[in-house]
Structure 1
Amino acid sequence: MTEDATRLSGRLSLTSVVAFGISYMAPSLVMVIFGVVAATSAGTAPTAFLLATGAMLLTALSYAKMAGYHPAAGSAYSYARRSIGAPVGFLVGWVVLLDYLFLPMVAWLVQSVYLNAQFPAVPVWAWMLINAGLTTLVNVVGLALTDRVNKLLTGVAVFLVVLFAAYCLVHLGHHAPASYTRPLWNADSGLAGVSAAAAVAAYSYLGFDAVTTLSEETRDARRTIPRAVVLVIAVGGLLFAAVAYVMQLVHPGGVFDAPEIVGYTMSVQVGGQTFADWTNLAGIVAGFGSGLAVQLSTSRLLYTMGRDGVLPKRVFGTLNKRTGTPVLCVLATGAMCLLGLDLSLETATSFINFGAFLAFTAVNVCVIVHFVRNRRTLTGARKVLGHAVVPALGACVTLYLMSQLSPTALTIGCCWLAAGLGYLVHLTRGFRRPTPEMAAS
């Protein structure tokens, strides 16, 4: 098979890649989890989001460095293979696979639950099939269409969040808050509460790393992808913090009747029932973009692992000659919706966080390993800070976040990791054969 037949083509611009990252993170998510974050932080949600942004930025800088060194579509999987070794890379890829395989299912399930609430005559399982079918169709047609649709939906999602914030500001014009600093820190807040809230808010940033899976489809990837990773965290984090600040001004403190639906009740408060209903519906439509971006990145990880021979190459390691995309990988990802037809949202989300935080930790370690191996050329205080101190802090943060996961998530993650180790032993015939190497460097 020629290299052209096994390499994705670079078409995406910086704007396109950033749009995919922002869409993946779902801009309206701040409205969904605001109540929980505010309650945990005793009414200092914007501070919690800022702390989470800073914490995740540490890992984003590590992803940016590795994307510059290794502009491959496999993200953490590729970085670990090339920096630490093929067996470790395989296990990282296997764990990330748990995250990436179930993220599309979770995105479709969230979308379907909200659509069912808006249109109860259509059951959740039917909405699941509709959502998964539509995103799969767009991703199968080709990257150009996916890029255009995603930009449109990302624009709609950001507009809706900004419109909601504008209504909040108009409301504040008629109901001036007693204090503009209380949302940042108050007599009830403390470091422990804000840190715990930041750990909750950090889940909003899952997926910023997904833009690195588009490396082979991005123009000038060595320069574009690192910039995109940092921009996604910076833009998304500042948007989350700004909207949370305005929401916290509208509702000071952290006491709510129902923290899970504060975004909707606040929409009613500042804009009325009709505004809230239309905003909710439009937000659901915009959320389609998140599912689109999630499925795109998942299919690219499956393709890279298939191209390497870690997964069956004939199924996962081929590109469609007409579209230049891994169509079978997209279809396999779409089929994951069938597993979510009878799952609750809580059970589904428990599958994904373990893989994400373990991958974040692995990428931070990759930067440190790269520094140790190239320390003769990476000299100077700035190099040591960027290649040793910052990734070490990033690894500590992500390990802390992993420790905050539920026992269910940790159990599922460890069982999946054990299964991957068993598959690696089988693949290498008890480590007597080498782990399949990269198909193209």
Structure 2
Amino acid sequence: MSAIKMKRVLTTPALIAFGLAYMVPLGIFTTYGEVTVASNGHLPIAYIITLAMIFFTALSYCRMANKLPIAGSAYSYVQRTFGGKVGFLVGWAQILDYLFLPILNYLVLGIYLHDRFDCIPAYVFVLGSLFSVSILNYLGIKLINWVNFTLNFFQVVFIVLFVILTLNNVNLTPEAMAKPLLITTDDFSGLFSGAAILCLAFLGFDAIATLAEESNDAKKSLPKAILCTVLIAGCIFLIVSYCAHLAYPEWTDFIDNKDTASLDVVRRVGDISQLGGEFMYNFFQAAYVTGVFASAMTAQTSVSRIFYAMGREGVLPKQIFYKIHPRFRTPYLSIIFVACFSLLSLVLELGLVVSMISFGALVAFTFVNLCVIKSYLGGNAKKTVPMLLKYGLIPTIGVLLSLWLWTSLETTAMTVGLIWLAFGFCYLLYLTKCFTKSLPSIDPNELNSIIKD
């Protein structure tokens, strides 16, 4: 048993900052052109649909975070609810999402910064980002917390400037303001396909749950932070997308240049405000890069905590993953392992990495909703109508919406995810000697000590 525990220093605002950093507030511009075209110029409505869909699963994370305030997020919830074998496979799938998000961020940083400073090879920026992110994680969650607030602030400054400049310089007639919000029956299919894409922008609220053992009142602060992060991110995405449509209402211009649509919008806002399109473009680039760096940092934090939880259970080698630094109180060997794995960003292509991200998240979303139903309604406890609505209907809707999102996965994502899951199943067979023995598990007294701590 590890005698050293992580520091409980994170407040609700710190957890919210962590979640927002993971999700990247400026991430709206990543899929701006694609979803604007798919929704026939009604991106704000697509975000409203997405927020409503995600909210059901976020509520389930809140229920489980309150019931089981321990590191590991979906892995820990499923492990305690459905047993070690199912929990292991969900945790294994979840790792796919968390392990490849830092790699995605490093690749984006290398591409953006090399484009800006073409005399420096992209791999230099990749290695520099990887090293600095790992050092920050190694030195402790308090430092990560401070950096998160700083980097989020920089993005917020850009967003506020973007919104103010737009509203002060565009046509605000009732007709112009209503145009992005008025839909017809012909728009529905595009809106829902766009909403499926946008759901991936909300991946990150679940990462907050990995910090349960570093929260100063996990049962209260985790649920608050999860809901607040989803709502704040949703409001940011909605407001920015609405202002972007006001600034550049001719959405059909993006049909042939979806990838650069966001840059066209940013330049338009700079031009109409007389600040200059190039100024806004440079500011956007700088703010976006800092956001991607923050996402890489928080993603490494999250996955190292999942490895820590699986190491504590004994399903991953304890001598590596269940180790806490005596001074910094961080799972330092897990952090080093993630950093070494992230060196793959030097050889992998961006498109392949993107296809790997969503599979694990959807596995986690589906099973966390199921965990709420079994945890609160299982057994012989008396079930009232309010309980059936709260712990039955709401998570069931979350399950159905998660299953619907599976239909939006690309073939590559499904193939890679299933192959990854197959490797996990083989490792499970090894751990259980072909299911002839039980999986190792945390001592019940240690678990109770963590929950009560």
What is the Cα deviation at residue 273 of structure 1?
1.2
Indicate the residue corresponding to 2:274 in structure 1.
none
Indicate the residue corresponding to 1:360 in structure 2.
365
Taking structure 1 as reference, are residues 353 and 160 closer, same or farther at Cα in structure 2, changes over 3 Å only?
same
What is the Cα deviation at residue 39 of structure 1?
0.5
- Alpha-carbon distance in structure 2 between the residues aligned to 1:368 and 1:30: 33
Residue deviations 1:168-205, cap 9 Å, x none? 222315x8684222211235852111101101111101
- Alpha-carbon distance in structure 2 between the residues aligned to 1:399 and 1:63: 17
Indicate the residue corresponding to 1:215 in structure 2.
212
Taking structure 1 as reference, are residues 254 and 398 closer, same or farther at Cα in structure 2, changes over 3 Å only?
farther
Q: Does 1:236 align with 2:268?
A: no
Taking structure 1 as reference, are residues 8 and 259 closer, same or farther at Cα in structure 2, changes over 3 Å only?
same
**8 Å contact 2:197–2:408 — kept in the other structure?**
no
Indicate the residue corresponding to 1:395 in structure 2.
399
Indicate the residue corresponding to 1:21 in structure 2.
19
Matched position secondary structure for 1:319 = coil
Indicate the residue corresponding to 1:265 in structure 2.
264
Q: What is the aligned counterpart of 1:185 among 182, 195, 199? A: 182
The equivalences for 1:265-304 within 5 A come to 265-271=264-270, 272-304=277-309
Q: What is the aligned counterpart of 1:53 among 51, 54, 57? A: 51
Letter of the structure 1 residue corresponding to residue 48 of structure 2: L
* More deviation, 24-33/114-123: 114-123
What is the Cα deviation at residue 221 of structure 1?
0.2
**8 Å contact 2:307–2:321 — kept in the other structure?**
yes
Matched position secondary structure for 1:394 = helix
Indicate the residue corresponding to 1:247 in structure 2.
244
* More deviation, 418-427/261-270: 261-270
Indicate the residue corresponding to 1:381 in structure 2.
385
Letter of the structure 1 residue corresponding to residue 40 of structure 2: A
- Alpha-carbon distance in structure 2 between the residues aligned to 1:53 and 1:251: 23
* More deviation, 220-229/106-115: 106-115
Letter of the structure 1 residue corresponding to residue 394 of structure 2: V
Matched position secondary structure for 1:352 = helix
- Alpha-carbon distance in structure 2 between the residues aligned to 1:228 and 1:136: 25
Q: CA RMSD in A?
A: 1.6
Q: Does 1:204 align with 2:196?
A: no
**8 Å contact 2:248–2:268 — kept in the other structure?**
no
Residue deviations 1:22-65, cap 9 Å, x none? 11000001122211111110010000011101101110000000
Tell me the TM-score normalised to structure 1 length: 0.95
- Alpha-carbon distance in structure 2 between the residues aligned to 1:325 and 1:98: 22
* More deviation, 413-422/259-268: 259-268
* More deviation, 235-244/185-194: 185-194
**8 Å contact 2:79–2:87 — kept in the other structure?**
yes
* More deviation, 89-98/279-288: 279-288
- Alpha-carbon distance in structure 2 between the residues aligned to 1:293 and 1:219: 18
Indicate the residue corresponding to 1:98 in structure 2.
96
Residue deviations 1:326-380, cap 9 Å, x none? 1111111112221121222111111121111011001011111113325625x33
- Alpha-carbon distance in structure 2 between the residues aligned to 1:123 and 1:176: 48
Identical aligned pairs, as a percentage? Answer: 35
**8 Å contact 2:247–2:268 — kept in the other structure?**
no
Indicate the residue corresponding to 1:164 in structure 2.
162
* More deviation, 382-391/177-186: 177-186
Q: Does 1:429 align with 2:426?
A: no
- Alpha-carbon distance in structure 2 between the residues aligned to 1:252 and 1:186: 15
Taking structure 1 as reference, are residues 261 and 124 closer, same or farther at Cα in structure 2, changes over 3 Å only?
same
Q: What is the aligned counterpart of 1:370 among 360, 372, 375? A: 375
- Alpha-carbon distance in structure 2 between the residues aligned to 1:14 and 1:29: 23
Residue deviations 1:77-131, cap 9 Å, x none? 0000111111110110111011111111112212221112222222222211111
What is the Cα deviation at residue 438 of structure 1?
2.4
- Alpha-carbon distance in structure 1 between the residues aligned to 2:197 and 2:416: 20
**8 Å contact 1:32–1:262 — kept in the other structure?**
no
Indicate the residue corresponding to 1:316 in structure 2.
321
- Alpha-carbon distance in structure 2 between the residues aligned to 1:188 and 1:169: 29
Tell me the TM-score normalised to structure 2 length: 0.93
What is the Cα deviation at residue 317 of structure 1?
0.7
Q: What is the aligned counterpart of 1:67 among 62, 65, 68? A: 65
Matched position secondary structure for 1:182 = helix
Matched position secondary structure for 1:183 = helix
Matched position secondary structure for 2:176 = coil
Matched position secondary structure for 1:433 = coil
